[in-house]
A and B are shown apart, each in its own frame.
Chain A
Amino acid sequence: MQNHRTFGPRGLVFLAVLLAAAALVPASSLLTPAGSALHLSTYAVTLVGKYLCYALLALSLDLVWGYCGILCLGQGAFFALGGYAMGMYLMRQIGARGSYANPDLPDFMVFLNYHSLPWTWWGFSSFPYAVLMALAVPGALALVFGYFAFRSRVTGVYLSIITQALTYALLLAFFRNEMGFGGNNGLTDFKDILGHDVRSDGTRAALFATSCVALALGYVVAAAVTGSKFGQVTVAIRDAESRVRFLGYRVEHYKTLVFTLSAMMAGMAGALYVPQVGIINPGEFAPANSIEAVIWVAVGGRGTLVGAALGAVLVNWGKTYFTGAFPEYWLFLLGGLFVLVTLFLPQGILGLVDRLTARRRPGPPAERPVAPEEQVLPRPVAE
């Protein structure tokens, strides 16, 4: 019925850029000499790789917020859970190389007098299991939380507040040593991933390429979902929820499904983030992180997917620059940016681009405004 061109020209450019970056950036980092103009330092590769994880987080948020009207202020919780799953795998890879040289228990467990591995850690020496958990744990949490919230018809600001409470509750829980996830310090001192040193240039380059591919895949999935009839229904829910319900759709099922999918994407982003930054701790659950993600999406353009990813990269690039150059002003700048975008760019950067290009090109004939007399006196059509 409507545009089933799933990606559109903008999406194809986005995918092309990501796949090109996945090939060229590692090549530039590994194959060119350090002094060359084409050389990218491992520091730069890791930094951009981190931005790409944020972009995937933003994409996941745009899927629920931009396309289903669910303003989740706890998206960072799913990201952090995915991160913890990967962190646990990386901890298990340390083996006997920790400070206490215990082959079975990570250092913090030895320090806290654990005698055996808690059941929550079982299986995490397997990489596929860790990846599965990075998807399944955030997904299961979103499924259960979403099902109850949406079934009770919690919407709007109330839903935003309870998602915020969710991430805050997890923050407090993960701070506790008794949880068995490293408490305040979290998980760090990672050594190997799949048998390769996490700090080596080659691993960094591979993680970067994987982040590009994951973001591209995330985009393909999100675009396919939003381009399907399912996606039309979620947009309809965003715009007129009760109308959708009176048409016979189970709104709570749609919301729960899109929320779960989005949480899994956020979990994958967290799982890719942790080996690149080398640490995961409860700070990742901080509500401020989730709110920052909302700002990225708003800046890039809510409901555009590509814009969300773009916003995440741009705002974080700005953050890296400003926190280096004027560290004390960064938060003011971020707040100011959000106010400015809300006031002057309600559709974000991509919305602005659309408006500027639409001005230059006349719209397709079907969308021309209809003359007033046509509107008042429609021609009756015989059946």
Chain B
Amino acid sequence: MTDPVLTSSLLYLDDVRVSFDGYKALRGLSLVLAPNEMRAIIGPNGAGKTTMMDVITGKTRPDEGTVFFGGSVDLTKRDEAEIAELGIGRKFQKPTVFENHSVDTNVALALKAPRGAFATLFGRAARDAREKVDGILRRIRLWDHRARRAGDLSHGQKQWLEIGMLLAQDPKLLLVDEPVAGMTDSETATTAELLREIARDHAVVVVEHDMAFVRDLGVKVTVLHEGAVLAEGPLDRVSADPRVVEVYLGR
């Protein structure tokens, strides 16, 4: 494993600290992600996984620490919309799609295009928008459902739709929070396949509890515990780490 330097890493978190009313959600979290890398983040409840995503996407400002994107952009100084425009997409834990819009409109709204209020009021859709939307709908296996109301999709399909919306944004980095929670086994397998496909040309950070799913992804794993990194490496090695075993089983 090579040690990535600041300038070549896509995402660089160093000694990030966040506390809410005295509760320390992150206590010196450091994490480095290379371009096009896929990383799984595991950890017990309260380990700081969601807070870490909040910090990266600008929802929460860290009290201390450095968060750099693309080697030079300081994410702690930007808000959600700016960070999204920089190329960081986020999937929530609970599938969040626009329930009253059709499936294809959901993807179209996420498509990379001018985001200004006047641009959407007076502008016209780009000529290749339709093709891009169709390509994504096929990729997320929702082509046959494109005209349905998103709110009528099954739970698993909503998760895929949200992943599709991330793809439409064409981000450099995707943050995916518990993508297989509440999915059937076959849906979980399809989702793993989908994420591996996406990881071919995007950096992806997946937060997940489901160990079988993480094993399926077959990528480097970071274990969080009490707001800091406890262990990092291939799943077999971290799961053999006595400290990790203690955190997971000793509770």
A residues at B contact (CB < 8 Å):
1-2, 225, 228-230, 232-233, 235-236, 239-240, 242-243, 245-251, 253-254, 257, 364, 366-367, 369-370, 374-381, 383
Closest Cβ–Cβ distance, residue A365 to chain B (whole Å): 9
**Residues of chain B with a CB closer than 8 A to A236's CB:** 98, 101, 109
Nearest to B124 among chain A residues (CB) is A229
**Residues of chain A with a CB closer than 8 A to B98's CB:** 235-236, 239-240, 243
Nearest to B143 among chain A residues (CB) is A381
B121 contacts A245, CB within 8 Å?
no
A235 contacts B92, CB within 8 Å?
no
Nearest to B135 among chain A residues (CB) is A383
Contact A250/B81 with A228-B121, A367-B148, A381-B138 known, Cβ cut-off 8 Å: yes
Interface pick from B6-14, B22-30, B82-90, B209-217? B82-90
B141 contacts A379, CB within 8 Å?
yes
Closest Cβ–Cβ distance, residue A221 to chain B (whole Å): 11
Nearest to B89 among chain A residues (CB) is A246
**Residues of chain B with a CB closer than 8 A to A228's CB:** 120-122
**Residues of chain B with a CB closer than 8 A to A225's CB:** 121
Partner of A250, one of B59, B104, B117, B123: B117
Partner of B115, one of A232, A250, A257, A378: A250
Residues of B142-176 contacting chain A, CB below 8 A = 142-149, 152, 154, 156-157, 165, 169
Contact A235/B139 with A228-B121, A250-B81, A250-B116 known, Cβ cut-off 8 Å: no
Contact A239/B100 with A230-B120, A250-B81, A376-B187 known, Cβ cut-off 8 Å: yes
**Residues of chain A with a CB closer than 8 A to B90's CB:** 246
A380 contacts B147, CB within 8 Å?
no
Closest Cβ–Cβ distance, residue B29 to chain A (whole Å): 21
Size class of the contact patch on chain B: 35 or more
The 22 sampled A-B contact pairs (Cβ below 8 Å) are A1-B104, A1-B129, A2-B105, A228-B120, A228-B122, A229-B109, A235-B100, A235-B101, A239-B100, A240-B98, A242-B92, A243-B98, A246-B80, A247-B84, A248-B81, A248-B84, A249-B115, A370-B148, A375-B157, A381-B139, A381-B143, A383-B197
What separation, in Å, do the CA atoms of A102 and B190 have in the docked complex? 83
Nearest to A241 among chain B residues (CB) is B96
**Residues of chain A with a CB closer than 8 A to B154's CB:** 375
Contact A254/B101 with A240-B96, A247-B110, A370-B144 known, Cβ cut-off 8 Å: no
What separation, in Å, do the CA atoms of A229 and B197 have in the docked complex? 30
**Residues of chain B with a CB closer than 8 A to A369's CB:** 152
Closest Cβ–Cβ distance, residue B84 to chain A (whole Å): 3
Question: Helix, strand, loop or mixed for chain A's interface?
Answer: helix
**Residues of chain A with a CB closer than 8 A to B2's CB:** none
**Residues of chain B with a CB closer than 8 A to A251's CB:** 81
**Residues of chain A with a CB closer than 8 A to B117's CB:** 230, 250, 253-254, 257
What separation, in Å, do the CA atoms of A374 and B146 have in the docked complex? 14
Nearest to B79 among chain A residues (CB) is A245
B144 contacts A247, CB within 8 Å?
no
A243 contacts B92, CB within 8 Å?
yes
**Residues of chain B with a CB closer than 8 A to A370's CB:** 144-145, 148
**Residues of chain A with a CB closer than 8 A to B144's CB:** 370, 374, 378
Contact with A along B185-209 (1 / 0, CB 8 A): 0110010010001000000000000
**Residues of chain B with a CB closer than 8 A to A1's CB:** 102, 104-105, 108, 125, 129-130, 133
**Residues of chain A with a CB closer than 8 A to B139's CB:** 381, 383
> B184 on the interface (CB 8 Å rule)?
yes
> B99 on the interface (CB 8 Å rule)?
yes
A243 contacts B97, CB within 8 Å?
yes
What separation, in Å, do the CA atoms of A374 and B156 have in the docked complex? 12
Contact A232/B116 with A1-B133, A246-B89, A367-B147 known, Cβ cut-off 8 Å: no
A253 contacts B96, CB within 8 Å?
no
What separation, in Å, do the CA atoms of A53 and B105 have in the docked complex? 34
Partner of A380, one of B82, B92, B149, B193: B193
B109 contacts A246, CB within 8 Å?
no
The 6 tightest CB contacts between A and B, nearest first, are A248-B84, A366-B147, A378-B141, A230-B121, A1-B108, A230-B120
Contact with A along B66-81 (1 / 0, CB 8 A): 0000000000000011
**Residues of chain B with a CB closer than 8 A to A245's CB:** 80-81, 84
Contact with A along B14-38 (1 / 0, CB 8 A): 0000000000000000000000000
| Most-contacted residue by chain B among A243, A245, A369, A380 (CB, 10 A) | A243
